Amino acid sequence: MSLQASAAVQQANRWDGGVCPFGAGWRTVMLWWFIISDGLLFAGFLAAYGYARLSVSNWPDASQVFSLPFLTAMTVVLLASGATMTLAVEAARREEWSTCSTFILVTGLIGLAFLGLQAWEWRHLIADGARMNTNPWGAVAFGAYFFVITGFHGLHVFTGTVVLATAARRVWARRATAVGVEMVGLYWHFVEMVWVFIFTLFYLL
């Protein structure tokens, strides 16, 4: 077989996957892969936390360390931001860009409120003596797990608010697409979902 014919056979056998092998554009699929790998990172953190929690007998009682009404407020705030983000995505689908931009901004502001509440919580715990390597309530590892897990989640919320601000500006300038807004929404809902895990496993159990 000639070299040209061989190349032609190879070309014919090559799977091109179509334009949408996962029923979504490549950017959306890449974002899903990011979400899954980032989720695995959080799963690792929470599994390590579970290990530490089970292996020591003097793990602090969450109800004595944290204020549950305050944490509930944080949760309500983040869940509300999920609703406004969904409304932004819907508005983008209907190509109502002003409404979309407004809802994205509202979501970002709610995200900032969540960060403010988290900063308040950290300040309070630091004032009570909580550090990465020590705390007044029990197991030494408690402070490290608390600051790393909630800090990593807070970093995601902060990144989300920056992305939301950028998206709002792009939507306002009519330079955004519905798929782009939907991707921002996917990321934000992922951040919301991770909080549900942290809230239950770290604060309630």
Binding residue (CB under 8 A) for other proteins from 8, 9, 30, 68: 68
For other proteins, give the closer residue by CB, 86 or 166. Answer: 86
Task: Determine if 67 is a binding residue for other proteins (CB under 8 A).
Answer: no
* Binding residue (CB under 8 A) for other proteins from 6, 22, 123, 128: 22
| Per CB under 8 A, 32 contacts other proteins | yes
DSSP state at residue 130: -
Residue of the chain from 9, 34, 44, 136 that contacts other proteins (CB under 8 A): 44
203 DSSP 8-state letter: I
Take residue 19 and report the two structure tokens written for it.
């334009």
CB 171, CB 100: distance < 8 Å: yes
- DSSP code for 21: T
Could you give the CA distance from residue 53 to residue 149 in angstroms, rounded to a whole number?
14
Stretch that binds other proteins, among 104-112, 114-122, 143-151, 171-179 (CB under 8 A): 171-179
Residue 119 near other proteins by CB under 8 A? no
Q: By the 8 A CB rule, do 60 and 142 touch?
A: yes
Structure tokens at 38: 């980032």
- d(C-alpha 140, C-alpha 132), whole Å: 8
Binder to other proteins among 9, 76, 119, 155 (CB under 8 A)? Answer: 76
Most distant CA pair in the chain: distance in Å? 79
Residue 122 CB, nearest approach to other proteins (Å): 22
Whether the CA torsion 83, 85, 87, 89 is positive or negative: it is: negative
Q: Counting contacts by CB under 8 A, is residue 73 touching other proteins?
A: no
* Whole-angstrom distance, CA of residue 71 vs CA of residue 67: 6
What's the min distance (Å) between Cβ of 1 and other proteins? 35
Among 25, 77, 117, 148, binds other proteins (CB under 8 A): 25
* Contact residues for other proteins, defined by CB under 8 A: 20-25, 28-29, 32, 35-36, 39-40, 43-44, 46-47, 50-57, 63, 68, 72, 75-76, 79-80, 82-87, 90, 92-94, 177-179, 182, 185-186, 189-190, 192-193, 196-197, 199-201, 204-205
